[in-house]
């Protein structure tokens, strides 16, 4: 078992670093952050933002280590898409937002071993 620097950080810490980077990225581009880490029985929504009239549900995926493991966005599979869509429906129902135009985006964050951002990609209307 290796004891490199990448093992110092937990999965939760890596996820938090990715979400923080995503929030900064969106805020800097004029998105209004409405909610973060919203939970209900069907799942969790990482970031809920508004841009103009559009309500945007953002799934944040972060990864560290070798790009040979695949990109963070490749981990958004059919099961995750269904879960995010179902959770977004609950959110919209609870907030009375039935008629809003929505977008489902993915922000992919690659982290360096020291948790700094190696790259960030924003995929609008990803699913």
Interatomic CA distance for residues 58 and 60, integer angstroms: 6
Query: Which stretch of 9-18, 22-31, 40-49 has the lowest confidence by average pLDDT?
Result: 9-18
Query: Which stretch of 69-78, 81-90, 98-107 has the lowest confidence by average pLDDT?
Result: 69-78
Predicted confidence band at 67 (pLDDT cuts at 50, 70, 90)? low
**Rounded mean pLDDT of 85-94?**
96
Interatomic CA distance for residues 105 and 120, integer angstroms: 13
Which helix (DSSP H) or strand (DSSP E) does residue 84 occupy? helix 78-94
**Rounded mean pLDDT of 97-111?**
94
**Rounded mean pLDDT of 62-74?**
78
Q: Between vectors from CA 2 to CA 118 and to CA 61, what angle results, nearest 5°?
A: 35
Contact 46, 34 (CB under 8 A): no
Q: Is 77 strand, coil or helix? A: coil
Helices first, then strands: H and E counts in the chain: 2, 5
Residue 7 has what pLDDT? 55
* Residue 14, both tokens: 């890596």
What are the structural domains of the chain? 5-123 (3.40.1350.10)
Q: Which of 29, 74, 22, 12 is nearest to 48 (CA)?
A: 22
Q: What does 64-76 look like in DSSP terms, one character per residue?
A: ES-GGG--GGGG-
């Amino acid at each position: 078992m290796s004891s490199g620097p990448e093992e110092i950080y937990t999965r939760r810490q890596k996820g938090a670093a990715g979400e923080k980077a995503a929030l900064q990225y969106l805020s800097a581009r004029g998105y209004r952050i409405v909610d973060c880490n919203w939970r209900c029985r069907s799942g969790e929504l990482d970031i809920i933002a508004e841009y103009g009239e559009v309500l945007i549900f953002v799934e944040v995926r972060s990864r560290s280590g070798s790009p040979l493991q695949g990109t963070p966005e490749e981990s958004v599979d059919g099961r995750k898409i269904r879960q995010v869509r179902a959770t977004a429906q609950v959110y919209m129902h609870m907030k009375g937002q039935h008629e809003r135009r929505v977008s489902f985006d993915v922000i992919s964050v690659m982290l360096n071993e020291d948790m700094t951002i190696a790259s960030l990609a924003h995929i609008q209307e990803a699913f």
